[in-house]
Structure 1
Amino acid sequence: MVRPRDNRADGTGPPARPGAAARHTDDTAVGPARHLAAARRIPGWLKATTIVLSVLLVGVIAFGAYWVIRLQGNITTQALGAGNSRTEGAPDDASGRMQILILGTDTREGKNSKYGTKDDSSGYGHSDVMMLMDISADNKRVGVISFPRDLLVDAPACKDPKTNKQYPAQSGVMINAAMTEAGIGCAVDTVNKLTGLEIDHFMMADFNAVKELSNAVGGVDVCISDAVYDPDSGLRLPKGTSQVKGEQALAFVRTRHAFGDGSDLGRIKAQQGFLSALVRKIKDDGTLSNPARMLSIADAITKNLTIDDGLASVPTLLTVGNRLKTIDVGKVAFVAAPTEPAESDPNRLQLAEPAASELFAAMRKDIDLTDPTAKPSPSASPSASPSATASAAPSAATPSAPAYNKALQPVTVANGSADAARANDVVTALKAAGFSQTGQFAAQAVATTAVYYGPDFADVAKDVAALLGIPAKQVLPADVAGVQVYLGSDYKSGTKQADAPVSLPPDIVNQTAGDAKCQQANPALVVP
């Protein structure tokens, strides 16, 4: 056996015995090896604590995994759009400005069959509740804009993502039917076209979602001016404040006749009142900081929810929900899109101008609806950035080879600028460009210029806007004959427009989530 070389500087020899031999020797003279000393006993309390912690850790992991899998399995998805182009990328779900279209479907399939037959809702169903939730980039305010189900709009061409069937554009259709043929994405595209925004996500819930959510939070307090009974929805409430949950909560948000004058506008205010009370309940009860209650609510919601692919993960939903935790309820503004009876059908509604255009322009600029004089939030999304709303560069000539005869197109100039010279400049510019069928008239003063167009005049309106330097997002469909250039005080001359000051209709905010309001009962349904 070759002994290991001794390299120690002091000249001492190698160890008397290799470690292995010392550990296993039977020679009692050698003595016990250091590593075979009597084992130190682990205290019983430490063993027990270690076992308990291990069990708890495994339990927490298993519990978390169970809920993630369960919630993820609850989620149903559809495409965000229906074939119409987008100019914005995916939003930052944690800190970017975000718009979410919230829909309530009238489908009678599955658990909803007790509210009617499948024949009561065709195709993908109708969106009998439609609200656009706009979360600011700094997470300090939320705007919720409701669209009446009877509002007549122009729907773009849409493609059903499941069948790839193409559906043509439609004019003057009820907004709640936008999703019937091509799915939720077509409703999203329709609201994009209507507002000039680009919606980032959608959430669609059915009847059962309201029942289970109201049960999960332990009921929602609502108030009504008089005792009321609506046999159609089954809503029966006494005068004053009541707590509703389950079927009565659903009846409260579904009823079309119990509030106001019995129209959809009364129902919108009741729905906004319900959501305001729900927000206060969740905030006051500390639900957002209570994991057990949050899981119960998340389970109730996701079981009855359809969302777009961009939201289709539990972490993403939690990220979005987390953004709402610290928002002041006084900065959650509920608004109804300004409407008036439609000229084509008094039983339907159309956007009231210029109020609707002013609202949508303020939203595109990310204006605080509760305080229009406040500065927009930092890090706003591209749709709210100055570059997105800046005036288009003036064009010296109209687009080449238009698919129409400019001399035959009816173009009127509504002068809301309070300056007759501006209207004259615009008429001169239009006629010089070949739009010879042009006239003008005095109109109500407005701040923001817009170009409105009737059915089949979208291409003409686009060219007129380009000629006059009016941004594309201020070109909107409306119930007008041909094309109407509605001049605002922002317009400087016939070929140049300045950035418009912010202008909002008075009392545009119905209420904030901090307001506890009583709904006015419909006199026709008041009971003793």
Structure 2
Amino acid sequence: MGRGRDKRQNATGAAAGPAPVSRHSGTGPAGAARHMGRPHGMPLWLKIVTGILTVALAGALVFAGFWFLRLQNNISKAPLNAGGGGNEVADDAKGRLQILILGSDTRDGKNSKYGVAEDSTGYGNSDVMMLMDISEDNRRVSVVSFPRDLLVDIPECKDPESGKTFPARSGVMINEAMAEAGIGCAVDTVNEITGLEVDHFMMADFNAVKELSNAVGGVEVCISDAVYDPDSRLRLPAGTSSVQGEMALAFLRTRHAFADGGDLGRIKAQQGFLSSLTRKIKDEGTLSDPPRMLKIADVVTKNLTVDEGLASVPTLLTIGTRLKDIDVSKVAFVAVPTRPAQSDSNRLEIAEPAGSQLFAAMRKDVDLTDPAAPATPSPGATPKPTTPAPTPSAPPAQPYDKTLQPVAVANGTGEPGRAQEIVEAVIAAGFTQASQFEATPVEQSVVYYGADFADVARDVAKIFGIPAAQILPADGVYGVQVYLGTDFPSGVKYGGVALPKDIVNQTAKDSTCQQANPALIVQE
């Protein structure tokens, strides 16, 4: 068809088509008519190039269509929530994004050799639970691990397949959240614990780890001593090793090979593995290499279940694109602060106030690697100029003796002993007549003052950065009273972010070596 179209463009009148070649007039030189007339059709070289380009384009379209359909058909999906509600639709391209990453311990199908079906009931328990939080500006990623032995409250959940509703439960291991009502119940549980709203989830099974580690050519891990765990069959020499396939899976599954053989040592080992994997993918430019990306995407999607909002190849590629340029020093791996549970010393519970501090910082989108860093504005956002409000003039304050001013600290935070830190700060500022007492919990911190103590109240409020609007006169108060609320649970700077020391286990930039469990160390 291309040839006919070009001939119509290059010929004129009745001379179009092949007819003039065999119907020359006898009045002119035959050679001139045959060899000096206007050329017909495109040159041979152009025909060849056009043909090659056409074939290449058709091949590319077929290739792209094949991979799109293949990857799309690989993906399994499930509802995001199980509590009857739903989150707002996330902006996957540029909004802040939180993805709950789960590892299932189900032994069905390809995973049957890792146990028997009775080992996991219903939807199976979550073997790994990590919340990945991608900042809106794509400069930071926090990965927060929840120990599987953590006792939590699980909300009421409805099984999307059977329609059965399961009542809320208290003091249950977090890895049981999805066993009855599906993955959405695990999402709802994390939402309730953290006060966040998870946007998506990704759940992978045992086979995903093996195939992914093979696809990247192995992942480097390090351990302090040679170790053998008969349960997971992990066997590693001391120092650094490259693991893939079954050994990579054993490294992530083992519950006894690291530290004291508990869940926290296992979490640190998993985070070390993911850090190493992140560095390898980043250093080798995998996210910018289409053939390698297709290979990894094929492996991952075959063994992945996601929510409906994430169940499309373009969406998965969008998230991959957001992560490809991130600084690995800003990929922070964190574990939820825990302590032995009071109800069962073999289980864990969230340690307070450290747990609340972590979740509050996450809700404020704080950089966990640098909590003091200012919040980064959204991409494209232009800060509006602000005009400082005029400060009302006040008469010059008369000097007073700080050591004679009564200052009381009322602890309304709900955290026993919280007032002590504030009292110490008050005394350090020179107000030595300080006292403390427990009070009814309130939401907002206020500095109250009695008659003739307004200037003292202002100075005390400045110590902690409590706003002027929260400095109030009060009958029945002699001197100054700092009433601490639940909005001031820690630290000595009101409105600041208080985080437990060393909350970040490591960043993806760090190469760490795991401590072997002394009980499983073997001779090389």
Is TM > 0.5 for Structure 1 vs Structure 2? yes
Partners of 1:192 and 1:198 within 8 A in 2: yes
After TM superposition, the structure 1 = structure 2 runs for residues 484-495 of structure 1, keeping only pairs within 5 Å, are: 487=485, 490=488
Matched, 1:520 2:519: no
Q: 1:78 and 1:250 mapped to 2: Cα distance?
A: 25
| Residue matched to 1:124 | 123
Partners of 2:414 and 2:441 within 8 A in 1: no
Task: Give the superposition deviation at 1:206.
Answer: 0.2
Give the secondary-structure state (helix, strand or coil) at the position aligned to 1:221: strand
Q: 1:120 and 1:21 mapped to 2: Cα distance?
A: 84
Give the secondary-structure state (helix, strand or coil) at the position aligned to 1:90: coil
C-alpha spacing 1:505/1:67, structure 2 compared with 1 (3 Å): same
| Residue matched to 2:506 | 511
| Residue matched to 1:501 | 496
C-alpha spacing 1:179/1:55, structure 2 compared with 1 (3 Å): same
Partners of 2:357 and 2:498 within 8 A in 1: yes
| Structure 1 stretch displaced more, 37-46 or 163-172 | 37-46
TM-score, length-scaled by structure 2: 0.75
C-alpha spacing 1:40/1:259, structure 2 compared with 1 (3 Å): same
| Residue matched to 1:48 | 48
Partner amino acid for 1:280? R
Matched, 1:143 2:142: yes
1:334-358 deviation line (CA, Å, top 9, x unaligned): 0000000000000000000000000
Q: 2:161 and 2:239 mapped to 1: Cα distance?
A: 47
| Residue matched to 1:4 | none
| Residue matched to 1:89 | 88
C-alpha spacing 1:40/1:20, structure 2 compared with 1 (3 Å): closer
Task: Give the superposition deviation at 1:490.
Answer: 2.4
- Count of aligned residue pairs for this structure pair: 419
Partner amino acid for 2:285? G
C-alpha spacing 1:84/1:61, structure 2 compared with 1 (3 Å): same
Partner amino acid for 1:308? D
After TM superposition, the structure 1 = structure 2 runs for residues 256-405 of structure 1, keeping only pairs within 5 Å, are: 256-379=255-378
Partner amino acid for 1:114? K
Give the secondary-structure state (helix, strand or coil) at the position aligned to 1:181: helix
1:191-233 deviation line (CA, Å, top 9, x unaligned): 0000000000000000000000000000000000000000100
Q: 1:37 and 1:153 mapped to 2: Cα distance?
A: 90
The CA RMSD over aligned residues, in Å, is 3.0
Partners of 2:354 and 2:500 within 8 A in 1: yes
Partner amino acid for 2:65? A
C-alpha spacing 1:21/1:230, structure 2 compared with 1 (3 Å): closer
C-alpha spacing 1:491/1:301, structure 2 compared with 1 (3 Å): closer
C-alpha spacing 1:22/1:213, structure 2 compared with 1 (3 Å): closer
Any gaps of 5 or more consecutive residues in structure 2?
1-11, 380-412, 424-434, 445-463, 465-482
Partner amino acid for 1:517? T
| Residue matched to 2:198 | 199
| Residue matched to 1:217 | 216
Q: 1:362 and 1:424 mapped to 2: Cα distance?
A: 26
Partners of 2:255 and 2:263 within 8 A in 1: yes
C-alpha spacing 1:30/1:373, structure 2 compared with 1 (3 Å): farther
Partner amino acid for 2:418? G
After TM superposition, the structure 1 = structure 2 runs for residues 406-425 of structure 1, keeping only pairs within 5 Å, are: 414-417=416-419, 418=422, 423-424=438-439
Partner amino acid for 1:295? L
| Residue matched to 2:240 | 241
Any gaps of 5 or more consecutive residues in structure 1?
1-18, 381-410, 430-446, 448-484, 493-497
| Residue matched to 2:79 | 79
Partners of 1:112 and 1:208 within 8 A in 2: yes
Q: 2:241 and 2:494 mapped to 1: Cα distance?
A: 48
1:368-387 deviation line (CA, Å, top 9, x unaligned): 0000011223239xxxxxxx
Give the secondary-structure state (helix, strand or coil) at the position aligned to 2:69: helix
Give the secondary-structure state (helix, strand or coil) at the position aligned to 1:282: helix
Percent sequence identity over matched residues? 65
